[in-house]
Amino acid sequence: MTAPDEITLTGLRAIGYHGVYEQERVEGQLFIVDVTLHLSLAAAASGDDLNATVHYGELADKVVRAVESDPVDLIETVAERVANLALAYPVVDTVTVTVHKPSAPIAVPFADVSVTIRRGRS
C-alpha cells in the first residue's frame, strides 16, 4: 500500500477573537493555520479533474472564515473546527491541522504557540 498523497496549505492568516481573557475577545489577534489533507490524488491526476480532489482556494477561504467566526476559549477548538471543514470533503481520509497563536498572552519571551491535531473519518 502506498502512502496517501497530500495537499498542504501553510500560513493561512486570519484575525480571530479566541482566548480565555477578555482582552483577547475584545481586541482580537492574528491566528495562523496550516492544514494538510491526506487523500488519494490518483483519480484527479489521471483525469485532470478538479471534482476528484479538493479545491484548495475554496478550502482556504473556508478556513479563514472559520477562524474569524464565533469566538471560543481554546485554539484546540479552532483546530477541531478546521478539521471538520476538511473532512467534509469526501475524498479526504485524514487531516492534520496546526493553529498558531503568535501573540498569545504569555509572560515570557516566546516565538510561537501552536496546537496540532490529526483527525480522520470515524
R_g over Cα of the chain: 16
Beta strand spans in the chain (E)? 5-16, 29-39, 92-100, 114-120
Contact, 18 vs 72, CB < 8 A?
Answer: yes
CA nearest 6: which of 64, 56, 62, 50?
56
Helices (H), 5-74: 22-27, 42-47, 56-68
How far, in Å, CA of 88 to CA of 36, rounded?
14
Q: Which of 101, 110, 111, 121 is catalytic?
A: 101
Asked if 101 is an active-site residue, the reply is: yes
Which residues are catalytically annotated?
101
